[in-house]
Amino acid sequence: MKVIRKIFISAGMFVCWNSGSVAYAQHEPLPQYQGTIGKTLQDTKQWWPEKVKAPAGAPNVVWIVIDDLGFGATSTFGGLVETPNLDKLANGGLRYANFHTTAICAPTRAALVTGRNSHSVHFGMHPELGIGTPGYDGYMPFEKATVAEILRENGYNTFAVGKWHLTSPSDITPAGPFNRWPTGRGFDHYYGFIPGATDQYHPLLWEDTHKLGDDPQGKLLTTLLTDKAITYIAEQKSAAPEKPFFLYYTPGATHQPHQAPKEWIDKYKGKFDGGWDKYREQVLQNQIKAGLIPAGTQLPPRNPGVKAWNELNPATRKLYARFMEVYAGYLSQTDFEIGRLINYLEQIGQLDNTLVFVLVGDNGASQEGTQVGYVKQNNEDITDEQRLQKNIENIGIIGTAEANTNYPLGWSMAANTPFRYYKRYANSEGGTHNPLIVRYPKLIKEPGGIRQQYSHVTDILPTTIELTGVKVPEKINGYEQAPFEGTSFAYSISDKEAPSRHTIQYYEISGARSIYKDGWKACAFHKAGTDFSTDIWTLYHLAEDVNERIDLAPQYPDKLKQLQEAFDEEATKYNVFPLHERLPGSTRSSYYGREHVVLYPGISTVTHGPGFNKTSFSITADVVLPASGAEGVLLANGGRSGGFSLFVKNRKLYFAYNTGDKVFEINTGDAALPSGHVKLKAAHTYDKENGNGIALFINDRQVSALKTGHAALASSYEGLEVGRDISTPVSTQYAVPFAFTGTINQVDIDFR
């Protein structure tokens, strides 16, 4: 290992590696010239500054994060979904069976990439649902560097591929600022999607900071991501074979929408006809047999609201089994793509020199599919029974590009076996207890082993730093660095009996909260709309009751009080307060609070535009129509799974309003569109009491109107487009992109 020297220059201090020449880090001033300048080149001693080199023998590092995946889903951890590539990684490495996340994706990812608690780095919740306090504003401090920033300062190339979800919506614009995008937080290259989810068939993708269009070959998202990861590695190893790389591979699967190719779904035809109760029983037996959970562990009761499988009628059982077949195909296809990446590393001789971490879930299985699941997201005011009937009618499109699928709560419960509850439940192991795989043949002498030390997502970065031998500079990009808040678990690799070193950990999401300390856990579930002081705390001894079946609060009130006090101490220390509920609709996009928005033709997709749901607004397109007529989209928001579109067709102005399951359409009828300079307007009125309505105007004259009842816009991943509708169409009246053939001067959006 090269000697590290501190060199003082007028601009301040920086860290370098001495290798005969002065080395410099990524964002430091060039060091003082150390050659000599003569009058001619013959009289000159040339000198070049040397770039920082990684420590000798430093491995490549690959972090893989799978989305919305419960403890009991994969075959690797006892589940009934085949994941042979995860199996292979685990059998060649270690299974960490007592690993924990934050219970929801963005906070988990923030804690992962920084090695600090999520609230400590301002990500106590998704950035879209932030509030103006340090624990929740979604602005990750530069004093708490990311893994990419640290490794790049140590001579690594760094790539991120897939889901990011760590940038405030107000910064996700073509104008930036870009300093908290992946390439602003240490990654040399980025390819993926910035928000929390996207469609598998028509993903919204960026490369570095540039918005991309649909893949012309029609590849699914996870395949595209794997292709790009392989390309980045191939280019790096061809250009600089001596340099290690860091790859952050986060496919976004198995987050909704659950979509997969037919051949993957068909693998599971009939495999889940036995239902979720039988699934849980079989998986529990598998987990005990494998040594993942203690012998004698029993299943907790079904979660509230989940019916026994044998109480469902045949049509409902058929529907629900299909939901799980689709999810299983989705997960297996994701496993295949992970295998393709790992196989490439093996093919080029890099696998055994690569430290691999696989987070088998960034939280527990998702509860967002509700009691009955959904094929198409539907924001109409209908009952669960009505939604169930719509799902049965649409069973044939589950998992396809036409659907925005998520499975019902019963399967989420089953996928979290042996634990209770779901994603978002920071008070429950079902939300926070995820598997972890670590593979590094140079140090792991017990391939296939299991580790039961308590560990947390904040521990992965400190562990990576220890295993790679790199150093954390005192300053990165001029910012003095705060210490990690996680604890390295490198000690456990060689000693499965070593006591846990991560002995205390708080959790909090949307007011649900808990604290773990020395094998004990105190928890409080928070019901929305109630006072936090009325929340009931429970107490579990996880060392003997791994899945929280026995509440010991009545027997040990003093222990509960100690843990409640410990929670308050940790919460104060790490920015958890104030406790609050995050309410839908609080997104702070760059358009937040603006009553008037002007959009111009030629812009790329606006992914975080104004919020249109449950509000009154108007759209006015200032256009020029030729005498021969014109057609096409003036403004489209969303796509097939929800949104609206203002467009011209057959010399009529149309407005389509898509709730996800139903499309309301209105046109100007017999009122002919004039040629020349024209203003075309649609006005949406939100009326909670009497029902909503849409009106169309030509040059400020109303020509038609339509009542839409209490239907609300469904969410969509596709964003806002001027002059076209890419990806999928809002309306079946046209095929994408249906670009406008006249001239658009501007489109004005007004909120009232």
Q: Which residues are catalytic?
A: 105, 165
- In angstroms, what is the C-alpha Rg of the chain? 27
Instruction: Identify the CA nearest to 666 among candidates 679, 678, 681, 676.
Output: 681
Q: Please, which residues have CB within 8 angstroms of residue 489's CB and are 6 or more apart in sequence?
A: 96, 451, 453, 455, 459, 463, 501, 502
Cβ atoms 462, 115 nearer than 8 A: yes
341-348 contacts, C-beta under 8 A, 24 or more apart = 341/62, 341/226, 341/229, 341/230, 341/249, 342/85, 342/88, 342/89, 344/230, 344/233, 345/60, 345/62, 345/233, 348/233, 348/234, 348/237
Detail the DSSP E strand segments found in 432-519. Answer: 433-439, 449-451, 455-456, 475-476, 479-480, 504-509, 512-517
Region of 606 please: left (phi>0), alpha (psi -120 to 50) or beta: beta
Q: Give the C-alpha separation, 149 to 121, whole Å.
A: 15
Taking the C-alpha atoms of residue 494 and residue 571, their distance in angstroms, rounded to an integer, is: 33
The total of other beta-carbon atoms located within 10 Å of residue 531's CB is 8
| Ramachandran assignment for 387, one of left (phi > 0), alpha (psi -120 to 50 degrees), beta (any other) | alpha
Neighbours of 137 (CB within 10 A): 18
Residues 546 and 429 sit within 8 Å (Cβ to Cβ): yes
Report the amino acid identity of residue 234.
A
**How far is it, in rounded angstroms, from Cα 124 to Cα 513?**
12
Burial of 653 (0-12, 13-18, 19+ CB in 10 A): buried
> Phi-psi bin for 184: left (phi > 0), alpha (psi -120 to 50), beta?
alpha
* DSSP class of 739: B
Tokens of 82: 């085949």
> For the chain, what is the largest distance between any 2 Cα atoms, rounded to a whole number of angstroms?
94
What's the count of helices (H) and strands (E) in the chain, helices before strands? 13, 32
Measure the CA–CA gap between 541 and 518, rounded to whole angstroms. Answer: 9
Cα gap 429→514, rounded to integer Å? 10
**What whole-number distance in Å separates Cα of residue 225 and Cα of residue 251?**
7
Cα separation values, 74 from 58, 77, 287, 295, Å: 31, 6, 11, 20
In whole angstroms, give the CA distance from residue 535 to residue 521. 16
Contact (Cβ atoms closer than 8 angstroms) between residue 346 and residue 338: no
Reduced DSSP (H G I as helix, E B as strand, rest coil) percent helix, strand, coil of the chain, to 5: 25, 25, 50
Cβ-contact 639, 716 below 8 angstroms: yes
Distance CA 338, CA 74 (A): 14
The rounded distance, in Å, linking the Cα atoms of 545 and 523 is 14
Length of the chain: 752
Residues 6+ apart with CB under 8 A from 591: 597, 608, 609, 610, 611
Place of tokens 């060392």: 543
Quote the CA–CA distance of 530 and 265 in Å, as a whole number.
Answer: 42
